[in-house]
Structure 1
Amino acid sequence: MVDDGDWATVGEQIRQARLGVGLSQAELATRIGLDRTMIAKVEAGARRVDALELVRLASALDVTIDYLLHRRPAVVSHRAELLAEDNNAEAARRSQRLDIALSAWLGDVRQMIEAGTLRPNTPMRYPGPVESEADARTAARWLREAHGLGKEPITTLMGFSERCGQYILVIDLPGDGASLIDGDIAVAVVSAKGDPGRRRATAAHELGHLVLGDEYSSDLAVHLSRADRESMINAFAAELLLPVAAFSGPGTDGNPREQIIHLAATYRTSWSLALRQAELAGWLDATTRRSLSQVTPTQAEFMDAVGWAPQPDLNGVRVPPGYSHAVMQAWRRDLVTGPRAVELLHGQITSDDLPRRDDADLPL
């Protein structure tokens, strides 16, 4: 099952998963019927785990067996809000759960690639230097132009990211988001817990880690602090979601609040992001921006600004469209079972939503 030299990897994965769910070694031992000292030896790589114990461990830790058997790729980035709380135990657990979900999501995407139903786009990387927030904003405009968007809104950020080579999964976990690159496969997870504007900002931020490079890469101003690099990626995300060029002309009668509400609703951004972009565009001074930020517009104001049109992005849709099609193709070709197809689509459908098969089409 596992080569002799890989038990240390299994032990470390078990330890990380245990920390992610906030269990002590003694608590985990009780759940699976082992002594605490045995858990300590397993985590140290000094004791092997048989198949039944592995199943029990995966169940107790709420992870896949595959997660426990294989070390995940090291290139992982997290949203700045998590990084700022590195010393907080609860934040560390949230981060670990996101990492586990991210690793499982990578496995799902890789399964569809290996099945031959998904041909991922090559991850896009900005070819120029990125040494400042201005450079990061230039990169965002470059990416928009590469997709023929100009200053138009991004209708679906999940589909846009997929075209850029990054596959996003929206998950029901606390936190913000995380992403990784494994060879030519780029994946990200975004928490569904935040409001829609925050989800889009997180998704754009994780796309920035791909396009600009990240803390593990030599491409993104590595001489700067982590906080400065995160600020640069935040600038990229803001310009990608709501370009400064969208603020054409001055605000109406010196009171641009309604126009900014309309732009925030049209581009589906948070109020704070729209205000920061408005200040950069010269619509607001810093004092006015701070004043307007004190009162967030109501949902009714945002909806009224766009004619009460539905805003589904990163809400009901949990997985990218191309990936969804790949899963359905794999199911139609009998490469995955119905239950596995439902699992791969992460709650986007139920088993009742799958088309009925004719008896002749069923595998023997």
Structure 2
Amino acid sequence: MAEDTTTAASQASYRIDSTLASWIREIRLLISLGMLQPKPIRRYQGRVDGPPAAAGVAKWLRTELGLGIDAIESMADLCEKCGQYILVIDLPGDGASAVDDDLAAAVVSLTGDPGRRRSTAAHELGHLVLGDEYSTDIEVSASREEREDMVDAFAAELLLPVEAVERARNSNRSTRSILVELAAKYRASWSLTLRQARTAEAITSHEEKKLRTCLPTLAEFRDSVGWAPQPDLDSIRVPPTFAHAVMTAYRLGHITGSRALELMHGQLNSPADLPPRSEDGAP
């Protein structure tokens, strides 16, 4: 049984890695056609020696992007601004990322709830911004587990700033209702929200354990913010400028309709969804 589980995990990892390699080739294709111009990769130049420092890098990045403590509307868009292209895939697992010379790419699994997908995307962006095990940006003596803890701290602070939790504490509502609203507003997973609440000292370790067993329902999440937010990294499978580059390449006749649909990875499903081509008289 353990061997079967290991084999399944290895197969899932292989499929994700293979998809990532293919995704990088697709990005390279559009670059070679002159349809896509990636933004420079954002990397933190300072030293990161632990989770608090990694969380500080997330605050730095938020400042760089002019986010303050606002909720991130689209992780695909934010990652793209940092030079990383994210593809959402319908495969088991979580995600993976890589840097190929001046190009950064990542894949995120569609499985799991939207909060988990956003956490995975933020985690993969953390590997890019902080530097991974092949970089000297993260403390070189740190173990892989310690490195992952740093990246997790970055992802948590990026998605739900501790300051946002601290400000929300001033409300006279119950702690749980405040945290449910924060999780919904910032579209963060429940576990990540509780982690940030602990960091903000808004809850004790005992309260955290109790809250982990009392998961909010979908109705609670939606009702706490007026049923407004839509899931992130769901119907959107490829980054905005990548999608635009595919459509431009198709209009200009650089790629076929079937290839355009392949590159859109399910975001468009039919030739009827494609725009008119230049030879059809489109401007």
TM-score range, shorter chain: over 0.9
- In 2, Cα distance between the equivalents of 1:357 and 1:265? 41
Change beyond 3 A, Cα 1:249–1:352: closer
Matching residue of 2:209: 290
- Asked if structure 2 preserves the Cα contact closer than 8 Å seen for 1:170 and 1:189, the reply is yes
**Aligned-partner Cα distance in 2 for 1:312–1:271:** 15
Q: Which residue of 2 aligns with 1:78?
A: none
Note the 1:271-286 alignment, pairs <5 A.
271-286=190-205
1:319 aligns with 238
Structure-2 residue corresponding to 1:139: 57
Answering whether residue 28 of structure 2 is matched by residue 110 of structure 1, we say: yes
C-alpha distance in structure 2 between counterparts of 1:130 and 1:299, whole Å: 37
Equivalents in 2 of 1:149, 1:141: separation in Å? Answer: 9
- Give the 3-state SS of the residue equivalent to 2:98 in structure 1: strand
Radius of gyration: which is bigger? 1
- What's the Cα RMSD here? 1.7
Corresponding pairs, count: 277
Contact preservation (8 Å) 2:169, 2:202: yes
CA distance in 2, matches of 1:359, 1:129: 54
Percent of pairs with identical residues: 52
* Preserved contact between residue 251 and residue 275 of structure 2 (Cα < 8 Å): no
Pair 361,218 (structure 1): closer, same or farther in 2 beyond 3 Å: same
**Aligned partners of 2:266, 2:152: CA distance in 1, in Å?**
30
Question: Unpaired segments of 5 or more residues in structure 2?
Answer: none
Q: Structure 1 pair 249/356, CA: closer, same or farther in 2 (3 Å)?
A: closer
Counterpart secondary structure, 2:215: coil
- 1:203 is paired with a residue whose SS is helix
Matched, 1:333 2:252: yes
1:354 aligns with 2:274: yes
1:250 to partner: Cα distance: 3.1
Closer/same/farther in 2, CA of residues 302 and 104 from structure 1, 3 Å limit: same
Question: For 1:178, what is the secondary structure of its paired residue?
Answer: strand
Counterpart of 2:19 in structure 1: which amino acid?
A
**Which has the bigger relative contact order, CA under 8 A and spacing at least 6?**
2
Which residue matches 2:88? Answer: 170
Task: Give the one of 201, 206, 219 matched to 2:119.
Answer: 201
- Which consecutive residues of structure 1, in runs of 5 or more, have no partner in the other structure? 1-84
What is the Cα deviation at residue 105 of structure 1? 0.3
Instruction: Indicate conservation of the 8 Å contact 1:251/1:259, yes or no.
Output: no
Partner of 1:235: 153
Given that 1:125 and 1:212 are in contact with CA atoms closer than 8 Å, whether structure 2 keeps it comes out as yes
CA distance in 2, matches of 1:174, 1:360: 41
The residue type paired with residue 103 of structure 2 is I
Q: Tell me, what secondary structure is at the counterpart of 1:330?
A: helix
TM-score (ref. length: structure 1): 0.74
Superposed CA deviations along residues 295-331 of structure 1, whole A, max 9, x for unmatched, are 1000000000111114131010000001101111111
Deviation at 1:245, TM superposition (A): 0.6
TM-score by length of 2: 0.94
